[in-house]
Structures are given as structure tokens and as C-alpha cells.
Amino acid sequence: MFETELRHLLLEKGANLVGFSSLGELAPPEFSELKYAVTIVRRLSDTIVKTIEGRPSMMYFHHYRTTNTKLDLLALDAVDFIEEQGYRALPVAASQSTPTDKEAYRGIFPHKTAAVLSGLGFIGKNALFITPEYGSRIRLCTVLTDMPLVAEGPVMQPQCGDCTICKNACPAGAITGALYEYGAPRASILDAKKCSEHMKTYKDIGRGAVCGLCMRACPHNAKPYK
């Protein structure tokens, strides 16, 4: 099975979790033939996450960028494997920027769409992907492909309950506090513009590209790493 081989390869190279999904109509229109996805998860250092105290830290900014780079390299390993099997593969950058669509605050494909379908976790009220193993302390990337890949678990339902810790922790008032319903617009849980504008207030840290307060606050982070 391709899934078994790919997971083994990516875990060996430093991924923490690997999932697969069939996107169907959710594939990006400009790559609609790439209907399958590999989701790669890297956990963030718990020690560094804890340096976020009331505002992001420079250490967090550096770690965030390094983790994104690691994910992009893991995506290249997945691309090599997929292409060697005779299929097409498109790595979607861990941190996407689309200058032509800045107001939408979106990239070419949302990592969380594939991550949810893979069954690896759920979307919390903080609009982040949350896994049972690592909570909110993760980063994601995706490889789109025409290699037929099947999710190995069911879609997980959001497990926030009545918690509103992230909403209360957000200095921008960007989190609505609503429980996410799959298929609903992101705006139902997050005002992406308010979030982005708030990040820019930390110009002294990473030129205003990170915040992380809602990620830091999530009680799903409590489980220690093995």
C-alpha cells in the first residue's frame, strides 16, 4: 500500500504524524485532477511554545519558521516518492502567501481541509488544527496528488465543548467562540483580518508575522510529548 510506504518514509525523515485523504470536489480548481492529499504534521517544541507569554517571543518566531522549512523539505520527500511511482505531486508550502488574494488571507489550498479529512484531528474554536497527540502545538503542510490515497480514520468531531479559553486569550477579538461545523466558512469562527492586523502590532518580533496566543492557551496542549 502506498499509504504504508509513504508514512514510513516520512516518519523516518522527521514527520510526527502523516495522514491521507481523498478530496473530491474540494481539490483546488486549478489542480482539480489532484484529488488526493498527503498531510504532514510537525509538532512545535513545548518549551518554545511556553515562551509565548502575553505576546509572541522571538524564539517562537524562529521556531515557527524553522518548522515550516522542515515541513517543506518533508513535502519534497513525499513528492519524490510519488513521482517515482509515476504519479503527479504538488507540494503546498507550509506557510502560504498569495499576493493577489491578500484580502482573503488564503493560500492555494487550506492545509486544514485535507488534515480534517485524514482523520488526524479536528478544528478548534481557535481555527487551528488540533490533534490528540499534540493539541494545538503543530504546523501542517500538504502534498496534492493524483495517487489514489485513502483516509485511515473517520473525520473527528470538534472537541472544544464549552471551553472559550482561546477566545478570551485573543487580544484582537478575532475568535467568535463558535464551535466549528465542517463546511462552514472560516469567518464563522475567526475574523482573519482582525487576526492579521493584530499580528502586525508585533513588528519587533518577526516583522509581525506571528502571534500564537490562542495556540499557547489551548488546554489540549496539556498532554506531554512522549
Binding site for ligand SF4 (CB under 6 A): 124-126, 160, 163-166, 169-170, 172, 174-175, 195, 198, 211-214, 217-220
Helix (H, G, I), strand (E, B) or coil at 45: coil
Q: What share of the chain is helix, strand, coil (3-state, %, to 5)?
A: 40, 15, 45
What is the DSSP-derived secondary structure letter of residue 93?
A: P
Q: Least distance (Å) from ligand SF4 to the CB of residue 36?
A: 28
Q: Least distance (Å) from ligand SF4 to the CB of residue 80?
A: 33
Is the Cβ of residue 117 or residue 174 nearer to ligand SF4 in the bound state? 174
Q: Least distance (Å) from ligand SF4 to the CB of residue 211?
A: 3
C-alpha distance across the termini of the chain, in Å? 28
Is the Cβ of residue 82 or residue 166 nearer to ligand SF4 in the bound state? 166
Cell triple for 222: 496539556
Going across the sheet that includes 17-22, the strands are: 17-22, 36-43, 138-145, 89-92
Alpha-helical segments (H) within 173-212: 192-199
> Backbone phi, then psi, for 120, in 5-degree steps?
-80, -20
Antiparallel, parallel or unpaired: β 122-123 and 89-92: unpaired
Q: Least distance (Å) from ligand SF4 to the CB of residue 14?
A: 26
Nearest position to ligand SF4, beta carbon = 124
Is the Cβ of residue 78 or residue 217 nearer to ligand SF4 in the bound state? 217
Is the Cβ of residue 26 or residue 165 nearer to ligand SF4 in the bound state? 165
Q: Least distance (Å) from ligand SF4 to the CB of residue 199?
A: 6
Which residues 6+ apart lie within 8 Å of 221 measured at CB? Answer: 46, 49, 134, 135, 136, 137, 215
Is the Cβ of residue 147 or residue 199 nearer to ligand SF4 in the bound state? 199
